[in-house]
């Protein structure tokens, strides 16, 4: 595909400007590549971690449900439901952000609060309920972690796409266009030199003839 | 000849923004590990005015790696400089304590040269995995040349 040329006047000043722009474009290309490199590392790592956390969470959920069904079997659904009516508790999560190469990613951290009393009667319940509650509480941390990872993954993905587009535009459009225009200008200057030489020779011949 | 100046201008604008946002996330002042452990919400303020929150779990992990009297010397976040080639990066080493911490995190012997600890891609991934909020990338102008 023929390279598109930038519309410039064929002067030395324009050539200087183009040179400066080319050097800037190359420097920025390096930055964009570095940024892309960082984002890719983070993306892969986040994806890997996300899979691990999801697996852990599924394991924790399965254990918690197993314990809950044992507790339900032991006490009966109605009795268990009656006991668990007043056990709702708010979980505290610290939220913030962290910045990776210009991308602001969320950061969630579950505040661990040791709860001695869960809200149900210890007299009317067995250790099965304690076990189920403990296992269910264990699921909260991976849930917060997974939420953070999933959102980070989305944001990183979007930024990678955007950065890649810029990188490609620089690599395949802007820099080649600048180089092609510079080449064109050099050719123009050479042609002008040749014309000048021919003109001088012609003048010389004319002067000789006179 | 085609006039691609609008496109060009767009890229120039992008480049200007890119340079501006690149190091905007760096902290105005680093804080010591001891100081951060005492805070309820451990954070540092970045150059662009935003806050960078540290995870308490990571701070506790770092605290478990070093002696209590050395916590004051460890300044966070630890900065990671991207190298000239893509496979290489450097951890900016402000003191022996950083060397000790990085060595323990990566579980290998490392050496600090000219205030830099050179690490490679797999180690960088491991370091970032373990110290997600307590490390940050930094771009130096000389790496851009």
Residues in B lying within 8 Å of A, measured between beta carbons: 1-5, 7-8, 11, 14-15, 18-19, 21-22, 24-25, 41, 43, 46, 50-53, 55-57, 82, 86, 121, 124-125, 128-129, 132-133, 136-137, 139, 143-145
Torsion B23-B27-B29-B30 (CA) sign: negative
Across the interface, whether the CB atoms of B43 and A96 are under 8 A apart is answered: yes
The secondary structure of A82-98 as a DSSP string is HHHTT---PPPEEEEEE
Average pLDDT value for residue range B109-125: 82
Look at B17 and B132; give whichever has higher pLDDT.
B132
Across the interface, whether the CB atoms of A34 and B143 are under 8 A apart is answered: yes
Across the interface, whether the CB atoms of A99 and B125 are under 8 A apart is answered: no
Q: Left, alpha or beta for A119 (phi > 0: left; psi -120 to 50: alpha)? A: left
- Least trusted range by pLDDT, from A91-100, A171-180, A194-203: A91-100
8 Å CB contact between A100 and A153: no
For A95, nearest residue in chain B (alpha carbons): B53
Q: Which residue has the tokens 């869960």?
A: A118
Average pLDDT value for residue range A154-166: 93
Tell me which residue in B21, B55, B124 faces A102 most closely, judged by beta carbons.
B21
pLDDT band at B144 (very low <50, low <70, confident <90, very high): very low
The conformation of residue B95, written as its DSSP 8-state character, comes to: S
Average pLDDT value for residue range A98-114: 80
Contact residues, A window 164-193, toward B, CB-based 8 Å cutoff:
166, 169-170, 173-174, 177
Residue A198 has pLDDT above 80, yes or no: yes
Look at B127 and A127; give whichever has higher pLDDT.
B127
Tell me which residue in A95, A100, A177 faces B4 most closely, judged by beta carbons.
A177
Strands B51-53 and B43-45: antiparallel
Q: Helix (H, G, I), strand (E, B), or coil: what is residue B27?
A: strand
Q: How many CB pairs under 8 A join A and B?
A: 102
Model confidence pLDDT, tens digit, residues B30-86? 888 889 999 888 888 888 888 888 888 889 999 998 888 888 888 888 888 876 666
pLDDT at B3: 53
Within 8 A by CB and 6+ apart from A102, the residues are A35, A159, B18, B21, B22, B24, B25
Across the interface, whether the CB atoms of B136 and A99 are under 8 A apart is answered: yes
């Amino acid at each position: 595909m023929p390279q598109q040329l930038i519309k410039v006047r064929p002067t030395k000043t324009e050539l200087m400007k183009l040179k400066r722009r080319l050097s800037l474009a190359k420097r920025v290309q390096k930055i964009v590549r570095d940024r892309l490199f960082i984002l890719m590392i983070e993306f892969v790592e986040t994806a890997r971690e996300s899979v691990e956390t999801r697996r852990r969470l599924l394991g924790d959920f399965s254990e918690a449900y197993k314990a809950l069904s044992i507790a339900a079997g032991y006490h009966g659904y109605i009795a268990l439901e009656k006991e668990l009516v007043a056990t709702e508790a708010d979980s505290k999560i610290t939220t913030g952000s962290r910045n990776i190469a210009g991308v602001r990613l969320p950061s969630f951290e579950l505040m661990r609060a040791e709860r001695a009393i869960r809200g149900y009667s210890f007299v009317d319940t067995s250790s099965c309920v304690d076990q189920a509650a403990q296992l269910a509480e264990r699921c909260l941390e991976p849930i917060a972690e997974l939420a953070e990872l999933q959102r980070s993954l989305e944001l990183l993905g979007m930024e990678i796409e955007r950065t890649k587009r810029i990188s490609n535009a620089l690599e395949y459009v802007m820099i080649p266009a600048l180089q092609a225009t510079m080449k064109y200008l050099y050719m123009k200057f050479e042609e002008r030199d040749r014309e000048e030489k021919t003109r001088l020779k012609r003048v010389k011949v004319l002067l000789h003839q006179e | 000849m085609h006039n691609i100046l609008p496109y060009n201008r767009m890229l120039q604008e992008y480049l200007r923004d890119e340079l501006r946002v690149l190091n905007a996330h760096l902290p105005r002042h680093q804080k010591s590990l001891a100081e951060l452990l005492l805070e309820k919400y451990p954070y540092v303020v970045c150059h662009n005015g935003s806050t960078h929150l540290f995870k308490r779990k990571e701070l506790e992990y770092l605290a478990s790696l070093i002696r209590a009297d050395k916590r004051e010397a460890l300044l966070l976040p630890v900065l990671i400089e991207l190298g000239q080639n893509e496979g290489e990066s450097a951890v900016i080493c402000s003191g022996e304590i950083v060397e000790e911490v990085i060595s323990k995190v990566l579980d290998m012997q490392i050496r600090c040269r000219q205030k830099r600890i050179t690490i490679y891609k797999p180690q960088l991934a491991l370091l970032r995995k373990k110290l997600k909020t307590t490390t940050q990338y930094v771009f130096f102008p000389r790496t851009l040349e």
